[in-house]
Chain A
Amino acid sequence: MSEATNPDTPGLKVEGFSERRIDIDGWPVNLVSYKIGEKFFCKADNVSPGARLARTNAATREEAEQAAIARAKELLSRTRRREI
C-alpha cells in the first residue's frame, strides 16, 4: 500500500456550520455557511436537485452570504418557467 508523500499539517476546525432556506425570486435556495481558519465560506444551491449556484468566501459570514445570494439571483433570473 502507498503512503502519502507530503507531511501532515495541523487540521483546521470547521466552526459555525449553518444552513437555512431562503427564497430568491420565487425559487427556494439553500444557504450553507461555515468558518474554516480565518475565512467564512458560503454555498448557495437550488435545493432540488441541490446543484451549486454560488460558492463564495469572505472575512465575515454576512459578506460571504451576500455575495452568494447576489450570484444565485443572477443565475436564477435566467431560468424560464413554461406552461405545462
Chain B
Amino acid sequence: MADYAHPETLVSTDWVAQHSKDANVRVVEVDVDTNAYNEGHVSGAIAWAWNTQLCDTTRRDILSKHQFEKLMSESGIFNDTIVVLYGDNNNWFAAWAVWQMKMYGHADVRIMNGGRKKWLADGREVSTEAPHYAAGTYAATGPDNSLRAFLDQVQAAMQGRSHVMVDVRSPQEFTGEILAPPGLPETCQRGGHIPHARSIPWGKACNEDGTFKSADDLKALYGGEGVDGSKPVIAYCRIGERSSHTWFVLKYLLGYHRVQNYDGSWTEWGNLVGAPVERGAASAHG
C-alpha cells in the first residue's frame, strides 16, 4: 500500500485480525445487503445499515450533523477512535460511510482492503455476536461540502466544462441500454449519462480478490480517460454510493485534491425535467 498517496487510509485483513478488539479501534461493517453481517462478521465489529442509519430517512439527504453525532455516540465512537470500515461488494457502502465521516471531520477512518470478500476468502474466523459498546461522546465538524457536489454545481460544471465528470455505473447504464443495474427496479425516467462524462465503472479500481489495484494501475486506468488530477473531478453513479468508492480512490489512493461525490447522481439527473442527456458511448475526451 506504500505507493498510495494516503496509505494510512487502508488497513489489511491481517491488521484487522490483530487489532479489531483494541480499545481505540472500532470496526464497522457496512454492506449493500444488510443481511450479510448476520451470517458472520469480524469479531468485535458492529454494523451500520446504509438505508436506515447512513441517511436521513425522511428527506433524501445524508445524515445531518446531529444525526451523525448520534450514530457515532451510539456506536461507542469518540473523536479520536480509529474507525475501520469494511463491507461487501468490494467496500461499496464502506466507502459511502467513509465519505460521510470525512464530511463530518472524523480524523482517522480507514478501509479494510479487500472488504468482506477477502476476509471470507482468506478463511478467517467470523462471529455471529453483535457487540454493544457503551456510548461515546462525539462532536462533529463541518459538513465539509467541498467533498460533495450538488445539482447546481454539476449543471454549472457541465456547461462550463470546468470539471471531469466520471460516471462510474456499468457501461449499459451509461449508454442508456438499461435504466438500473440488472435485476434492480428502474429508478429513473431516462437512460444515458451527463453530457461529456467519462465512463469508468467503479469496479475497475479493484482486483479479483477485492483489494484496490496498485497506484500505478489506478493512475493508468483514470489517466487514460483524462482523470489525472489536473482538473477537478465530480464522480456520480445512480444514488452516490458507487461513486463514493471512486471518490475514495481518487482522493486518498491517488491523492487528487479536488474530488467531489455527486450523491444526487442519476436518480436526480435522470428524473429532471429538461436535463440534457447523452446516450450511447462516451464521446472523445478533451
Contact = CB atoms under 8 A, between A and B. Distances in A.
B123 A4 contact: no
Interface stretch (B30-38, B55-63, B225-233): B30-38
A46 B178 CA distance: 13
Contacts of B279: 84
B127 A52 contact: no
A75 interface: yes
Interface residues of A, number: 41
Nearest to A71: B183
A65 B172 CA distance: 26
Interface string B110-140: 0000000101111111111111111110000
A79 B180 contact: yes
B280 A49 contact: no
Nearest to B25: A1
B33 A55 contact: yes
A1 B81 contact: yes
Contact of A41 (B39, B172, B201): B39
Given A46-B183, A75-B183, A14 B191 contact: no
Interface string A1-41: 11111101101111101010000000100001010110001
A84 B177 contact: yes
A12 B170 contact: no
A48 B200 CA distance: 12
Contacts of B127: 9, 11-12
Interface stretch (B85-93, B94-102, B148-156, B255-263): B85-93
A7 B4 CA distance: 38
A66 to B, nearest CB: 17
A78 B133 contact: no
B236 interface: no
27 contacts: A1-B78, A1-B81, A3-B133, A4-B133, A5-B132, A6-B129, A6-B131, A8-B129, A9-B127, A9-B129, A12-B125, A12-B126, A14-B120, A14-B123, A32-B117, A36-B39, A43-B33, A46-B181, A46-B182, A50-B32, A51-B183, A53-B183, A75-B183, A76-B182, A81-B172, A82-B179, A82-B191
In order of increasing CB-CB distance, the 9 nearest A-B pairs are A11-B125, A75-B183, A2-B76, A4-B131, A2-B134, A1-B23, A48-B170, A52-B33, A2-B133
